[in-house]
Structure 1
């Protein structure tokens, strides 16, 4: 796999630059044993609040990646960068429009060896990202499988990301779709993981589990997801 910098990640905490997090909470998150910290959000992300969060995370040794959701939050100095593309929308600007505009402005500065495209399949219509991008969240299992094959086998995207932000997803659908991903792609899942049990269920279906919102509502439950994911039974599919 070309993008080896994230291929060993099983558990990731996702931090939103637009949300407040105490130094004590950040200390617990960064020393929790998680494989990485991802920084990103669907709204309110600015250069200033992204730089501030990055500088706080940099006090720790945990890898830190930026999900570049807007040019306002494009900040140098991260260990890696994810470029999201919403696959289940008919609005071209969310598939390649915003990304192309970003490359027109910053293309010569992109650290290509530490940059990876994410093919997002957003499956909660109430999520902010779904509303912003016009994602068709009402897809059936076979449609999600088809998108997964398109993303990983034809487009050769290194990451396909099943996003249910705001609620816990249909793990059987996720499991079936993830099993159809190409062997050179990593499958991420995020959404509604607010307990160790839900973290375990997700970890049995995908390569990488992303835990976000619960950090800001119940830190202890968020921390409990690390061991749950690491201890979960999961065998990487052959593609």
Structure 2
């Protein structure tokens, strides 16, 4: 061993010691996942999971948005989802369920890449997919990026840079150690978690300690995926939380009310993750706007729309109020839900009227000029950041462009298998389209 090698190893040990001290002994927080994220909204890219028409209104109350899902997710719909969420004012990160869901576009748009590790699944779910992912990054993704950005790079340098870039991308990612406790969920099927693999609170605590101290996982995630863990989950969270000093502890599964969200936070979770409750808002909007279109004039003023919503919608029991109630920092979820549902109805009525008038003037395509903002009314954007308001305008314009004169969706008429346009992708992921 040369003196240079010895010095390098000493520096390596000192670096590891400094990192360990920062995590355990020093009064600093080196975890890249912000400690003030108490609520994360999970958006599933699969086409069946829709977004509310004015989703930036709802998402401005959450701490961050996670993009990922366990079924019918691919690189294309993941990129489309990031295109929809990336310009929003809320942080957006990526939780891929497969290595090939990570692309150069998603890496550019995601604030964080969270790589899953299932602590009570099979070895494939812990290290198998990580190995597959490392191979994909090293042999496909990084070389493609280098060819696009550094086409002049000689071949002998490509391999070394690819090795470095692969290690850097993985070092820059955060690792998410899952304990999956619902064997009937899609996540359990993906990780081969059976009834016999479920953990007691003490066993979950031990796995959490291994995740933090050996795997150095930034996140430990107690996952009930679609069902509420209740007292059992609370006991497990309490056991895990007392053993963690650096890793964040997240809970996901069945959070659809403030009571449930607060119960998991009180039990020791740093963050609750909500997915289905958000997507159900989009399902609710389609039926609501259909009823409103039969009852209200297209140019109904805001007060008339609010009155109709108050008289015809049980807002307290709505999916909109239920989702907003899961966010501890959202004030008066019922009031917010009434406001947002009214804004959605008014927007939809005016958008339909604007499109119909444009069809009369221009034939098969609506006029998408500067009058769109005037047609919607400037008060729609009250309270939205400039970025979120621009995102709403972009999406509404895309819906108009993607629609046909006969009132159906352009993407539904595609028969040649060609890639949909950006406007068609927006229409695919929003719950309200002109075919509804």
The normalised TM-score by structure 1 is: 0.87
Secondary structure, aligned partner of 2:272: strand
Structure 1 residues not aligned, in runs of 5+: 231-239
RMSD: 2.1
Higher helix share goes to which structure? 2
Match of 1:119 in 2: 177
Secondary structure, aligned partner of 1:174: helix
Q: Compared with structure 1, are the counterparts of its residues 207 and 35 closer, same or farther at alpha carbon in structure 2 (3 Å cutoff)?
A: same
Task: Give matches, 1:23-42, under 5 Å.
Answer: 23-31=52-60, 33-42=61-70
* Matched residue count: 228
CA offsets, 1:123-181, max 9 Å, x none?
Answer: 01111111121124532222112211221233321111000001111233233223233
Matched, 1:20 2:83: no
Match of 2:6 in 1: none
Higher strand share goes to which structure? 1
CA distance in structure 2 between the partners assigned to 1:95 and 1:140 by the alignment: 19
Secondary structure, aligned partner of 1:14: strand
CA distance in structure 1 between the partners assigned to 2:276 and 2:107 by the alignment: 25
Structure 2 residues not aligned, in runs of 5+: 1-28, 139-164, 281-318, 332-436
How far apart are residue 111 of structure 1 and its match?
3.7
Q: Is the 8 A contact 1:65 1:79 kept in 2?
A: yes
Worse-matched range after superposition: 128-137 or 63-72: 128-137
How far apart are residue 114 of structure 1 and its match?
4.4
CA offsets, 1:23-69, max 9 Å, x none?
Answer: 525223322x2110000001111111111111111231110000021
Match of 1:3 in 2: 31
The normalised TM-score by structure 2 is: 0.49
Match of 2:285 in 1: none
Q: Is the 8 A contact 1:200 1:228 kept in 2?
A: no
Q: Is the 8 A contact 1:152 1:158 kept in 2?
A: yes
Q: Is the 8 A contact 1:3 1:116 kept in 2?
A: no
Secondary structure, aligned partner of 1:50: helix
Shift >3 Å, 4+ stretches: 109-114
Q: Is the 8 A contact 1:86 1:133 kept in 2?
A: yes
Match of 2:236 in 1: 174
